[in-house]
Amino acid sequence: MAGKVFFAVSMSLDGFSAPESMEGIRATPEQRERDPRLDRWVAQWMELQSWIFPVRFFRENLGLGEGGEEGLDNDVARTTFERTGASIMGRRMFDLGEHAWPESAPFHTPVFVLTHQPRDPWERPGGTTFHFVGDGIHKALDRAREAAGDRDVRIAGGSETILQFLNAGLVDEFSIALAPVLFGAGIRLFDGVDASRVRLEPVRSEPSSRATHLTYAVHRR
């Protein structure tokens, strides 16, 4: 049986899945001195994701060393990774990640990057190969499904890419790590959702001390 199509992201209580810009991640010290917002955006991002940094699986998977916390947050991180047979991401997420991921990128599966600029597949040590797909989300999903086999396809991000798949009726399920933080501004996860066509069914809601892990199945209205 074919796997599911899902996304799994962290979201602030006021609905943001990213700060206004992620440019702080690759900014030089000079740039950060000129624009103090860059540091603030990185701090927001760290706060949003703070449930995942201390867990054992995250440290293992990024090669940060032994140890780390067990428990629900760790289980969620591990399960999300293990169910994923292939990922799909937007070009901007890839561009940012290219600078932020370690050489052994943390996917360890095929990753399909939506882009209008064709490019040869890019193989990384540790089993991640990036494929650049220029013929639309349906074709990208066909290829990802095939690559994933029995496992699930993760729409990795960013939120614009996630919304394209959600509004096209291609998402079966999603998980949100709801972080106890208010952003006030930034990139809204569900900005532009076609609410008249998407119905949610609660599947799970589990709190850890750092986030509430919510899972919903997606149906057409």
CB closer to a second copy, 2 vs 203:
203
Q: Residue 47: enclosing H or E segment and its boundaries?
A: helix 37-48
Q: Which two tokens stand for residue 115?
A: 């882009």
- Which of 2, 39, 200, 219 touches a second copy by CB under 8 A? 200
- Which of 4, 15, 25, 168 touches a second copy by CB under 8 A? 15
Q: Least CB distance from residue 162 to a second copy, whole Å? A: 13
Tell whether residue 67 is a contact of a second copy (CB under 8 A): no
Tell whether residue 169 is a contact of a second copy (CB under 8 A): no
Stretch that binds a second copy, among 27-35, 73-81, 145-153, 192-200 (CB under 8 A): 192-200
Q: Give me the DSSP letters along 68-117.
A: -B-SHHHHHHHHHHHHEEEEEEEHHHHHHHHHHS-SS-TT-SEEEEE-SS
Helix pair 137-148, 159-167: axis angle to 10 deg = 90
Stretch that binds a second copy, among 21-29, 92-100, 121-129, 200-208 (CB under 8 A): 200-208
Q: For residue 128, what is the DSSP state?
A: -
∠ CA 60-210-67, rounded to 5°: 25
Q: Least CB distance from residue 188 to a second copy, whole Å? A: 7
Q: Least CB distance from residue 125 to a second copy, whole Å? A: 38
Residue whose tokens read 């809601």: 205
Tell whether residue 36 is a contact of a second copy (CB under 8 A): no
Q: Please report, as residue ranges, which positions from 73 to 92 form the binding site for a second copy (by CB under 8 A).
A: none
120: closest CA among 128, 130, 110, 111?
Answer: 130
Gyration radius of the chain's alpha carbons: 17
- Which of 88, 114, 141, 176 touches a second copy by CB under 8 A? 176
The residues of the shown chain that bind a second copy, judged by CB under 8 A, are 13-15, 176, 178, 180-185, 188-190, 192-196, 198, 200-202, 204-207, 209-210, 212, 214, 216
